[in-house]
């Protein structure tokens, strides 16, 4: 059985997933560290930090070239991310190992505006549904999440919560208000 735990940063995914894994003998997998798009993101940041060389092309031509290159990099990073996630999930499913995954490819779609606005987003997200037995979204009020981790504004947290709820509804998952750790773990266990 593969359970994936979703939710904004600070909602308690790691706490719940690790305690669930320890209590019920599941393998805990942190999905956030396997993001191949990170390499491309760092590559793009380094490239933009270098001084740009002056060329003879017009400003409009430079913008078109940059825009096209940016789109290619975005789609390439998305492809690598999805392919990596798919391969790892396929191996995990074949192993028949009980696992709980803290963060997944789905989180990347919700937390990144570029990914969220991709055409065929719902189709891509639904593709991964077959690899998860249970999809759980942990929610709390934006104010509670902000108190735990003030990296995003309350408005950004609210936007992410709405996106997560949309995705979890699309995937027939469960939405659990994480106000009591033991109750949350029990709800996940009972499927």
What's the pLDDT tens digit per position in 41-74? 555 555 555 544 444 445 444 554 566 677 677 6
Lowest mean pLDDT among 10-14, 16-20, 23-27, 104-108: 104-108
**Is 141 in contact with 102 (CB distance < 8 Å)?**
no
Q: Name the strand (E) or helix (H) holding 100.
A: strand 99-102
Q: Look at the block and give the residue holding tokens 């059985």.
A: 1
Spell out the domain ranges in the chain.
2-34+96-189
pLDDT reading at 39 higher than 80:
no
β-pair type (174-177, 27-30): unpaired
**Is 81 in contact with 37 (CB distance < 8 Å)?**
yes
**Stronger pLDDT, 8 or 181, i.e. the higher one:** 8
What's the pLDDT tens digit per position in 102-133? 888 788 778 777 777 777 778 878 887 777 88
**Is 118 in contact with 78 (CB distance < 8 Å)?**
yes
Q: Does domain 2-34+96-189 have CATH number 3.40.50.300?
A: yes
Contacts with 75 (C-beta within 8 Å, 6 or more apart), sequence order: none
**Helix extents (H) in the chain:** 13-24, 37-49, 59-95, 105-111, 113-116, 121-127, 142-148, 154-170, 181-189
- The pLDDT assigned to 47 comes to 54
pLDDT reading at 10 higher than 80:
yes
């Amino acid at each position: 059985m593969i359970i994936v735990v979703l939710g904004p940063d600070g909602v308690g995914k790691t706490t719940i997933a690790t305690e669930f894994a320890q209590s019920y003998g599941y393998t805990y997998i942190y999905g956030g560290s396997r993001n191949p798009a990170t390499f491309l993101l760092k590559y793009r940041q380094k490239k933009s930090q270098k001084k740009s060389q002056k060329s003879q092309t017009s400003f409009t031509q430079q913008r078109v070239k940059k825009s096209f290159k940016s789109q290619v990099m975005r789609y390439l990073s998305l492809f690598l991310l999805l392919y990596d996630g798919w391969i790892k999930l396929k191996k995990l499913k074949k192993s028949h190992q009980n696992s709980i995954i803290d963060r997944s490819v789905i989180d990347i779609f919700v937390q990144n505006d570029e990914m969220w606005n991709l055409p065929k987003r719902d189709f891509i997200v639904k593709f991964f549904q077959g690899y998860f037995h249970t999809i759980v979204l942990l929610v709390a009020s934006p104010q509670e999440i902000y108190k735990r981790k003030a990296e995003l504004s309350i408005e950004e947290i609210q936007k992410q919560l709405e996106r997560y709820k949309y995705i979890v509804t699309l995937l027939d998952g469960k939405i659990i208000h994480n106000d009591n750790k033991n109750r949350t773990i029990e709800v996940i266990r009972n499927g």
